[in-house]
């Protein structure tokens, strides 16, 4: 039965500030004066004009001893060594791939930083270079770790572990990078029946939990078997929950996603993205998280 | 249209999902995303409507001007469409990049409204063979999130519903020259009858089934789609096939049946929202673009 819902738009309600933990955050907009004290060193996101320290981005002020910097809330991904990212291949070049990771420059995945199928460790030859397209093509999704950062800010990735590599069937959700919390591990097998990779660059990959845990090929062959319906429903519900959390600007980590999933169970999957239902679910998640903390 | 390349795994997942009637956002194959309709967003002489369908954002403005009718249709004059693909939607539309898509959409809209009876053209006539009202419909694409044609047709219908044409009187003096007099009261106007204005329903063929309201990801997996314009009574005014794949005649019949069903409920839902908005009158809180 066709279900078409049309509505009149309602003005977005300003999200009320949640209980401040550890003091108020000093929020600034571009052009706001942070301080007139000249004793401070200026960090990222600030500049000096007429002996005043002025913010150049919109975000929260962070002070470490004498260094003041402004961390922007809505920004492209700034790579840091050790981050897990999910990226999409945009180009295949000589001895390397260009990967799109929602940063200012395309990231680079060198052929020598990539695992060969079979897990062999050998010098990359000319045949490997010619066969690059067989491993990864334009449009493929990969999970990788940041190895180093070039001087211009471009990020160099590596997939030197069996848990990284090409991603198979699943759903990609794009959120702002500042919403993904930094944690010890970003690969989660959620108890509700699906797995999720929370990339630090804001790309979140939801996929069905693989049965066998041993990865012989390092993830190069995509399984063509259709995903069962029950898993699909879990994945779709998770996707809508993550979109709801991102719209309401809540930090994304495994516990918040799980609580949101549980709060959304009484509703139908397609209702989760409706504004009223979204607010209700996220409010419940927020309360449970606050309860967990204190 | 802007479409990033998708990986094999993603496409497989979407195609299998459609087979089992479970799409990525859990809609069945005949569900639309939630749409937001608002009229009178721009304070100008134009009558405007804005439609947000998921990530697709369309703004339509209608302007009525006086003109001379065509020679072959002395009592009627059709609507003129102009589509502008703003570079806001995607960087590919910068400069003249959006012209091709814009002219394709304009010609489709012309086709849709070309059949008799869609808009009551007699009400636009002032003086047979000499003067008539010409409606210029301008469409602005602000964001592309898949399913452009449906959103544009909904916005055009909403804008036409909102259009008010001032009443004019033709005075003839002794020498035979005619003068057109506009009534002084700004609220004295006639409204267009939009009961027969059609809406476009896009059906995309993915795998063995067809879906309504495809998102950008689903469009990347679809080889052929059918654009069918349906009126509120269920009559078709035009049909167009897009895409490089082929369609079986059997599937075309099935798609036409689905389009009729979906089109009727689309019109009912849209009319309800437009009536609700009108009943609120001036007490409605205008949201506009900064809401």
CATH number, position B125: 3.30.230.70
Examine residue A63 and state whether it is found in any structural domain, yes or no: yes
- Tell me the HSE value of A216 on the side-chain side, using a 13 A CA sphere: 3
List residues of B whose CB lies inside 8 A of any A CB.
4-10, 12-13, 16-17, 19-20, 22-28, 30-32, 34-38, 52, 212, 261-262, 265-266, 269-270, 272-273, 276-277, 284-285, 287, 291
Least CB–CB distance from B10: residue in A10, A172, A268: A172
Query: Domain span at residue B58?
Result: 27-279
In this predicted structure, what is the pLDDT of residue A216?
A: 47
CB A4 to CB B7 under 8 A?
no
Count of domains in chain B? 1
Least CB–CB distance from B37: residue in A1, A2, A6: A6
For residue A294, the distance in angstroms to the closest alpha carbon of chain B comes to 35
* B103-123 pLDDT per residue, tens: 999 999 988 888 777 777 777
Residue B197 CA, chain-centre distance (Å), reads 9
CA distance B54 to B35: 7
In this predicted structure, what is the pLDDT of residue B54?
A: 83
In this predicted structure, what is the pLDDT of residue B5?
A: 74
Is it the case that residue A64 has pLDDT exceeding 80? yes
Contact A77, A85 (CB under 8 A): yes
Q: Any chain B CB within 8 A of the CB of A154?
A: no
Is it the case that residue B64 has pLDDT exceeding 80? yes
Cα separation of the two ends of chain A: 47
In A19-81, beta strands by DSSP E: 27-28, 33-35, 41-42, 46-49, 52-55, 59-64, 67-72
Examine residue B261 and state whether it is found in any structural domain, yes or no: yes
**In the beta sheet, which residues pair with residue B132?**
B67, B125
Average pLDDT over residues A54-74: 89
Examine residue A33 and state whether it is found in any structural domain, yes or no: yes
Chain A residues within 8 A of B13 when measuring between CB atoms: 169-171, 227
In this predicted structure, what is the pLDDT of residue B1?
A: 39
Examine residue B75 and state whether it is found in any structural domain, yes or no: yes
In this predicted structure, what is the pLDDT of residue B124?
A: 75
Is it the case that residue B71 has pLDDT exceeding 70? no
In this predicted structure, what is the pLDDT of residue B69?
A: 73
Split at pLDDT 50, 70, 90, the class of B32 is confident
CB A4 to CB B25 under 8 A?
no
Closest by CA position to B5, among listed A223, A252, A141: A141
In this predicted structure, what is the pLDDT of residue A74?
A: 84
Is it the case that residue A95 has pLDDT exceeding 70? yes
A142-151, A269-278, B121-130: range with highest mean pLDDT: A142-151
Examine residue A82 and state whether it is found in any structural domain, yes or no: no
Closest by CA position to B55, among listed B158, B140, B199, B151: B151
CA distance B178 to B76: 19
Average pLDDT over residues A164-170: 88
**Of all residues in chain B, what percent are helix, strand and coil, respectively (each to 5)?**
30, 30, 40
CA distance B239 to B229: 6
- Chain A residue with CA closest to B9: the answer is A169
Distances (CA, A) of B263 to A59, A156, B131, B199, B202: 46, 51, 35, 7, 10
Complete DSSP assignment for A177-213: GGGBPP-S--EEE-TTSEEEEE-TTSEEEEEEPPS--
A contact residues 184-223, partner B, Cβ 8 Å cutoff: 222
CA distance A73 to A60: 7
Examine residue B153 and state whether it is found in any structural domain, yes or no: yes
The token pair that represents B183 in the structure block: 């009534």
User: Which CATH number is A44's domain given?
Assistant: 2.40.50.100
Contact B263, A2 (CB under 8 A): no
Query: Domain span at residue A61?
Result: 27-72
A194-198 β-sheet, strand order? A171-174, A203-208, A194-198, A187-189
Q: Enter the DSSP assignment of A99.
A: E
Q: Which of the residue ranges A98-107, A153-162, B46-55, B248-257 would you say has the lowest mean pLDDT?
A: B46-55
Examine residue B17 and state whether it is found in any structural domain, yes or no: no
Chain A residues within 8 A of B38 when measuring between CB atoms: 8-9
A contact residues 66-105, partner B, Cβ 8 Å cutoff: 88
Examine residue A277 and state whether it is found in any structural domain, yes or no: no
Query: Considering the entire predicted model, what is its pTM?
Result: 0.84
Q: Which residues contact B50 (CB under 8 A, 6 or more apart)?
A: B37, B38, B39, B41, B57, B58, B59, B60, B155
Average pLDDT over residues B73-95: 78
Residue A281's CB is within 10 A of a number of other CB atoms, namely: 26
In this predicted structure, what is the pLDDT of residue A243?
A: 92
Chain A residues within 8 A of B23 when measuring between CB atoms: 236
For residue A172, the distance in angstroms to the closest alpha carbon of chain B comes to 8
In this predicted structure, what is the pLDDT of residue A217?
A: 45
Chain A residues within 8 A of B19 when measuring between CB atoms: 226
Could you give the percent of chain A with pLDDT greater than 70? 89
Q: Which of the residue ranges A69-78, A280-289, B172-181, B208-217 would you say has the lowest mean pLDDT?
A: B172-181
Is it the case that residue A241 has pLDDT exceeding 50? yes
* A10-40 pLDDT per residue, tens: 776 666 655 445 456 788 999 988 888 888 8
Is it the case that residue A238 has pLDDT exceeding 90? yes
Contact A156, A148 (CB under 8 A): yes
In this predicted structure, what is the pLDDT of residue A146?
A: 95
Count of domains in chain A? 1
Residue of higher predicted confidence among B70 and A270: A270
In this predicted structure, what is the pLDDT of residue B241?
A: 92
Split at pLDDT 50, 70, 90, the class of A200 is very high
> Length of chain B in residues, anyone?
291
In this predicted structure, what is the pLDDT of residue A212?
A: 66
CB B287 to CB A11 under 8 A?
yes
Q: Quote the mean pLDDT of chain B.
A: 82
Examine residue B22 and state whether it is found in any structural domain, yes or no: no
- Chain B residue with CA closest to A1: the answer is B30
Could you give the percent of chain B with pLDDT greater than 70? 90
Taking the CA atoms of residue B22, residue B24, residue B29 and residue B32 in that order, the dihedral angle to the nearest 10 degrees is: 140
In this predicted structure, what is the pLDDT of residue B73?
A: 61
A vs B, Cβ pairs < 8 A, gives: 124
Examine residue A66 and state whether it is found in any structural domain, yes or no: yes
Average pLDDT over residues B183-197: 79
- Among B26, B155, B213, which would you mutate to test the A interface (most chain A Cβ atoms within 10 Å of its Cβ)? B26
Cα separation of the two ends of chain B: 28
Residue of higher predicted confidence among B277 and B105: B105
Q: Quote the mean pLDDT of chain A.
A: 85
Least CB–CB distance from B36: residue in A1, A9, A239: A9
* A80-92 pLDDT per residue, tens: 899 999 999 999 9
Examine residue B199 and state whether it is found in any structural domain, yes or no: yes
Examine residue A248 and state whether it is found in any structural domain, yes or no: no
């Amino acid at each position: 039965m066709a279900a078409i819902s049309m509505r009149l738009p309602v003005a977005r309600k300003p999200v009320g500030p949640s209980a401040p933990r550890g003091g108020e955050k000093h929020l600034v907009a571009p052009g706001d004066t942070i301080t007139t004290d000249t004793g401070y060193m200026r960090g990222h996101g600030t500049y000096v004009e007429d002996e005043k320290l002025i913010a150049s981005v919109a975000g929260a002020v962070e002070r470490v001893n004498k260094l003041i910097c402004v961390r922007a809330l809505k920004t492209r991904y700034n790579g840091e060594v050790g981050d897990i990212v999910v990226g999409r291949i945009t180009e295949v070049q000589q001895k390397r791939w260009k990967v799109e990771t929602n940063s200012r420059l395309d990231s680079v995945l060198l052929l020598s930083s990539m695992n060969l199928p079979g897990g062999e460790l050998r010098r990359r030859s000319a045949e490997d270079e010619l066969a690059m397209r067989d491993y990864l093509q334009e449009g493929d999704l990969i999970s990788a770790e940041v190895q180093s950062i070039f001087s211009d800010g471009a990020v160099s990735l590596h997939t030197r572990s069996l848990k990284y590599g090409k991603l198979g069937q699943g759903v990609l959700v794009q959120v702002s990078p500042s919403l993904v919390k930094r944690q010890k591990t970003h690969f989660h097998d959620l108890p509700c029946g699906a797995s999720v990779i929370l990339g630090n660059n804001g790309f979140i990959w939801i996929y069905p939990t693989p049965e066998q845990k041993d990865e012989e090929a390092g993830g190069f062959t995509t399984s063509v078997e259709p995903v069962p319906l029950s898993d699909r429903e879990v994945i779709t519900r998770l996707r809508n929950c993550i979109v709801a959390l991102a719209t309401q600007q809540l930090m994304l980590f495994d516990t918040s996603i799980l609580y949101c999933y549980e709060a959304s169970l009484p509703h139908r999957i397609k209702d989760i993205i409706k504004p009223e239902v979204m607010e209700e679910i996220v409010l419940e998640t927020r309360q449970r998280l606050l309860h967990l903390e204190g | 249209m802007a479409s990033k390349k998708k990986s094999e795994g993603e496409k497989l997942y979407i195609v299998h999902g459609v087979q089992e009637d479970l799409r990525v956002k859990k809609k069945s194959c005949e569900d639309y995303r939630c749409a937001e309709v608002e009229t009178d967003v721009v304070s100008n002489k134009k009558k405007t409507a804005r439609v947000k369908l998921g990530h697709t954002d369309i703004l339509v403005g209608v302007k009525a001007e006086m003109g001379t009718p065509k020679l072959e249709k002395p009592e009627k004059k059709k609507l003129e469409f102009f589509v502008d693909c703003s570079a806001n939607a995607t960087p590919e539309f910068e400069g003249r990049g959006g012209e091709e898509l814009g002219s394709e959409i304009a010609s489709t809209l012309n086709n849709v409204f070309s059949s008799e009876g869609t808009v009551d053209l007699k009400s636009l006539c002032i003086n047979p063979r000499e003067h008539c009202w010409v409606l210029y419909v301008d469409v602005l694409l602000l964001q592309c999130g898949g399913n452009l044609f449906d959103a544009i047709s909904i916005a055009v219908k909403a804008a036409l519903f909102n259009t008010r044409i001032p009443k004019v009187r033709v005075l003839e003096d002794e020498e035979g020259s005619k003068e057109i007099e506009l009534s002084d009261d700004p609220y004295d106007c006639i409204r267009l009858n939009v009961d027969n204005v059609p809406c476009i329903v896009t059906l995309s063929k993915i795998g063995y089934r067809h879906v309504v309201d495809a998102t950008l990801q689903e469009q990347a997996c679809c080889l052929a789609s059918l654009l069918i314009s349906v009126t509120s009574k269920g009559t078709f005014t035009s049909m167009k096939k897009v895409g490089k794949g082929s369609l079986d005649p059997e599937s075309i019949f099935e798609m036409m049946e689905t389009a009729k069903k979906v089109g009727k409920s689309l019109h009912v839902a849209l009319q309800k929202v437009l009536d609700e908005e009108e009943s609120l009158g001036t007490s409605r809180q205008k949201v506009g673009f900064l809401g």
